[in-house]
Amino acid sequence: MKNFVELLEKDKKIVIGLMSGTSVDGIDAAIVEISGNGLETEVDLIAFETYPFPSGVPQRILALCQPDTGRVDDICEMNFYIGHLFAEAVKYILQKSGIPASDIDLIGSHGQTIHHLPKDTNTDPNLSRYPSTLQIGEPAVIAHETGIPTIADFRVADMAAGGQGAPLVSYIDYLLFCNSVKTIGLLNIGGIANLTVLPANGTFDSVCAADTGPGNMCIDAVITEITQGRERYDKAGQRAAQGTPHQPIIDAWLKHPFFHQSPPKTTGREMFGQTYAMECLAACREHELSDNDCLATLTALTVQTIADYIERFITGPSPIDVLYVSGGGVHNQTIMRRLGEQLPSTAVEPVDNSGISADAKEAMAFAILANETLHGNAGNLPSATGASVRKVLGKFVCP
């Protein structure tokens, strides 16, 4: 194992980034070569793979996210088991790429979020919650089973400083995409949609970022329900494309307080998970919408909340010139088409057009964050998360 000094003295490092998001559709693994750190960071993607969860694991993870089914013994066990699966994802991409483990300097693992309780999201005045977050996927297991130093648990330092614990990718967005001429938007549509806006010629303090609301989460839950599990997502948005959105229902959904909350703000399954999705489905059935009309309406909600967020909260000197889209939503042609219609003055493009892989972007981000932590650089942006100070993120575990 390389020691700290050896790692810091290397001109280039090979780092694996690991990410599993709220869609719970597998573990994304990216092998990247990183030169420099901070504003001097340069990164090249070497390989990317998605390691599928074994049968039944997504359902077990989702059960942990529900207050009425998430038992402490199950959480304890799954923390270590998910760590094992993250280690398997590392071995999987190494085998696929033909790269020996001895060539890898570091792993950066986001883990699997099972509960997220940032400040200012408690809607029950009779219930007091201390702001907190929990990502599982024990890094000691990852480090032991791979033999590679691992940095993980990135969110907690930001939350300790009063932040939302997310979005953390905004710092990486600034390193990779800041532009002296154009205002750039980075939209990731996973289970939840989040947006980073980089004003032209802006500084760290000028970055604005937040979750905008549900991305694919409600769409996936509803299509799983209406097909009795035969389909887990609307492939390329084909079903939504065959339906017609019902605007009165969308208008009612848009009254949700989260959509009117000023950034910084984050959310997750606690607010827009299975319970919310089933309420949406029930509303569609009350209006006697077809299944495809229901999916079209939920898809329109995702797009409308993104567009409304931009109109309401992005108030810089110029509109977003280019909106780069990543995450699973970039493959939903109906979402992409409707975004273009809703944002006629903005070029809406897959982030692939910038030279960064849309599918690999978030896993790459946690490889870069691990490198920043190794160098003692702060990895959060208070303008994006609401933290009181910038913080070095993550916890280092030796194999």
Q: pLDDT for 52-61, tens place per residue? A: 999 998 889 8
- The reported pLDDT for the residue numbered 22 is 74
The alpha carbon torsion through 75, 215, 171, 308 (nearest 10 deg) reads -140
Q: What is the pLDDT of residues 74-86, one digit of tens each?
A: 899 999 999 999 9
- The reported pLDDT for the residue numbered 130 is 84
Give the fold, CATH level 3, of 4-164+359-397: Nucleotidyltransferase; domain 5 (3.30.420)
- The reported pLDDT for the residue numbered 62 is 82
Q: Taking the mean position of all CA atoms in its chain, how far away is CA 118? A: 15
Low-confidence ranges of the chain (pLDDT < 50): 122-123
Q: Provide the 10 A C-beta neighbour count for residue 257.
A: 9
The listed CATH number (3.40.50.620, 3.40.50.720, 3.30.420.40, 3.40.640.10) that belongs to domain 169-354: 3.30.420.40
- The reported pLDDT for the residue numbered 185 is 96
- The reported pLDDT for the residue numbered 163 is 92
* Start-end of CATH 3.30.420.40 domains in the chain: 4-164+359-397, 169-354
| Tokens at 131, concatenated | 């702001």
- The reported pLDDT for the residue numbered 127 is 54
Enumerate residues 6+ apart whose C-beta is below 8 A from 384. Answer: 167, 170, 171, 196, 207, 208, 209, 210, 264
Q: Are 236 and 332 in contact (CB under 8 A)?
A: yes
Q: Tally the C-alpha atoms within 13 A of residue 293's C-alpha that lie toward its C-beta.
A: 13
- The reported pLDDT for the residue numbered 128 is 60
